[in-house]
Amino acid sequence: MQTSNIDNFLWGWASAGEALLLGILLFRKVYRTFPLFTAWIAFSALSEPLYYFLIRHADSRTYINADFALSLMLAALELCVLLEIALNVMAPAKRSLPKVLFAVFAAIIIAVGIGGFLFATHANEATLAHPRTIFVVNNTVAILRLVTFLLIAGFAQILGLGWKNHVLQVASGLAFYAAVSLVTTLLQNRMHGGPGYIQEYHSMQQLAATSYLCALSYWCYSFVRKEAPRRDFSPQMAQLLVSISGSTKRQHSVVARSLDVKPR
């Protein structure tokens, strides 16, 4: 398979950007807070040379199979990163919130994932047995990235998060990359065969790769700078947590009395 000068440039900068970001995460010890995000970047950095070798020296079938396997592993890691982001966001309030709310939150994420999968399947006209299955997987993860970011951004002020907070910066970088990837994939699936089909299709892939480079640059810039301290919860959020916590304690007391056991 042949690669253009633009492809070589994008691959080279992606490898350099991932290596630089990984070095920053390790040097500034950010991996302690974001171990799964660090693992995702490390896996991406290690797989980049393999991608380049396969596309240059392997036949099309081998490359497609390898791309499918690596993409599935990257998608699984990205799902773990989204979970890590959610846990970091909710960390200050996890002791005050009842466990049932976390179960509800998990159910919402699963529902969004299923909805994203169904939407991606319909948009790509593919099934799990179709060669284009990886588009469905990538679009599903992209939708989850966008929803995670929108949820965090929507409650940023309430949760005490600012744009200089690392968890919001990780989420916003993922969301930007997800938005561009989703749009380019949907456009690719609406292209019709013709003389310029392959070139237009490939240009969309290059655009998605460029958005990933932008995300890498943004993360490098963000993690080099000192993180802004997380603000206290807003009065509304503090009151809500107190209300939920108090309600939970009252429920525990009622249950204890009904069982004729002294509440703790």
Q: What is the pLDDT of residues 81-101, one digit of tens each?
A: 888 888 887 776 555 555 555
Domain positions in the chain are: 5-233, 234-264
d(Cα 220, Cα 223) in Å, to the nearest integer?
5
**Token pair recorded at residue 42:** 């490390």
Structure-model confidence comparison of residues 158 and 61, the more confident one = 61
State pLDDT tens for residues 144-192: 788 878 777 776 766 667 778 888 899 899 989 988 988 888 787 777 6
First to last CA, the chain: 69
44 contacts: CB under 8 Å, gap ≥ 6: 18, 74
Looking at residue 97, its pLDDT comes to 55
Looking at residue 250, its pLDDT comes to 44
Cβ atoms of residues 224 and 24 within 8 Å: yes
**The CATH number of domain 5-233 is 1.20.1070:** yes
Looking at residue 88, its pLDDT comes to 83
Among 36, 35, 42, 7, residue whose Cα is nearest residue 21? 42
Looking at residue 27, its pLDDT comes to 93
pTM of the complete model: 0.76
Cβ atoms of residues 24 and 30 within 8 Å: yes
Taking residues 219-246, report their average pLDDT.
Answer: 70
Residue 41 has pLDDT above 90, yes or no: yes
d(Cα 46, Cα 5) in Å, to the nearest integer?
22
